[in-house]
Structure 1
Amino acid sequence: MSDRTWDWNPSEEYLTEGLPPGVVAEVERLATELAALGPDSVRVGRPVDREGGLREFDFLAGRGFISFLAVPRHECVYVCHITWSG
């Protein structure tokens, strides 16, 4: 288990505006799981051919995805964008 955390970037209000509560809950669950991966979170999702940078991860059977940034020196995963096509 990791001591890393996650946060919204820019803000929860901005990123979740208009999204169903279940979608927000799933994003929060995924962000918690990504933070728990610790340093390995820089390799999760797309792009698959390199580490670091802005990453994408599908959720809810491909009906949406999150873009996140894992910053090892901050020991934090930042959720930067949510796309929902539900």
Structure 2
Amino acid sequence: MTEWTWDYNPSAAYVTEGLPPGVVAEVERLTTELAALGPEAAKVSRPFDREGGLREFDLMRGRGFLSFLAVPRHRCVYVCNAT
């Protein structure tokens, strides 16, 4: 288990506005798993050729996307967008 956490950036209301409760639950479940990876979260999903920066992860079998930042100095995964 890592000491990493996750949070919404800029806020939960901004990121989840208009999303059904089931999608919000899936976003939070996936982000919890990304935080459990710790610094390895900076290598997960697209773009595949580099680590760090804004990452994009498929939601609901490709029906949506989750954009996130893994910030090692904060030990946090920030959810920036969910569509």
- Normalised to the residue count of structure 1, the TM-score between the two structures is 0.94
Which residue number in structure 2 is paired with residue 68 of structure 1? 68
> What's the CA shift for 1:3?
1.3
Corresponding residue SS for 2:77 = strand
Gaps of 5+ in 2: none
Which residue number in structure 2 is paired with residue 34 of structure 1? 34
What is the distance in 2 between the residues matched to 1:3 and 1:72? 11
Corresponding residue SS for 1:73 = coil
User: Sequence identity of aligned pairs in percent?
Assistant: 75
- CA deviation string 1:23-56 (max 9, x = no partner): 0000000010000000100000100000000000
What is the distance in 2 between the residues matched to 1:77 and 1:56? 12
Superposition RMSD on alpha carbons, in Å? 0.5
Gaps of 5+ in 1: none
What is the distance in 1 between the residues matched to 2:35 and 2:65? 17
Which 4+ stretches in 1 moved above 2 angstroms?
none
Corresponding residue SS for 1:68 = strand
What is the distance in 2 between the residues matched to 1:65 and 1:18? 14
Which residue number in structure 1 is paired with residue 56 of structure 2? 56
Corresponding residue SS for 1:78 = strand
- Normalised to the residue count of structure 2, the TM-score between the two structures is 0.98
